[in-house]
Amino acid sequence: MISIGGLKGFWIVALLTLGSANLGETEMNALNEPDIPFPPACPTPDNVGAVCSLGLGRPRYPDSFFQGSGASHFRRRGQAINRLEYWYSLCCSGQVAQDQILCCTQQAWKQALSQFCVEEFGTMTLAYECCQDKGDARWTCFNSELPNPNYSPIPGYSAPQVPEEPGFPFNPHFC
């Protein structure tokens, strides 16, 4: 015979276990916010090889990653990462001369983060802190306190397909 108290305890443990399980694609941090390593590092001679060769091992953020509403600033970060990774793939695809890949990825980085800032200022909330800066100060801010400066992949991760991101016109004359 099972007592009501024992059954009640079983359900409490079961609900707590399910409540802490990762049942979807969304990973949460300690503050119960989506975990999006942001900002991305500026491509350099030291990390551009990883930018190009390890792209499918870095996270993408499809709409299904985000739970419900109230996370629009995280959605904008995820969209900026998706856009940047797509543009990196264009730079690394062989359509850009080998000696211009670094320049292309740096242009993609700046344009993706510039577009992110435009989207940040288009809301009624406080914009991301680096977006408040202008010129080189903005890029210095974005390129500090980086969560993944070497563009390391996540072991065993394979990036899902995300929509194409038009709007990146690489200009080799700015190299």
The domain ranges of the chain are 38-174
pLDDT score at 32: 54
Check if the beta carbon of residue 101 is closer than 8 Å to that of residue 48: yes
- pLDDT of residue 6 exceeding 80, the answer is no
Q: Which residues pair with 28 in a beta bridge?
A: 34
Identify whether the C-beta of residue 42 lies closer than 8 Å to the C-beta of residue 141.
no
The model's pLDDT over 31-90, given as tens digits with 9 standing for 90+, comes to 456 789 999 999 999 999 999 999 999 999 998 888 766 678 899 999 999 999 999 999
What pLDDT, on the 0 to 100 scale, is given for residue 150?
97
Confidence of residue 23 (pLDDT cuts 50, 70, 90): very low
Residue with tokens 């350099």: 44
Average pLDDT, the chain: 83
Query: How many CA atoms lie less than 13 Å away from 173 in the CB half-sphere?
Result: 1
| CA 76 to mean position of chain CA atoms | 9
pTM exceeds 0.85, yes or no: no
d(C-alpha 159, C-alpha 134), whole Å = 33
Contact 82, 60 (CB under 8 A): yes
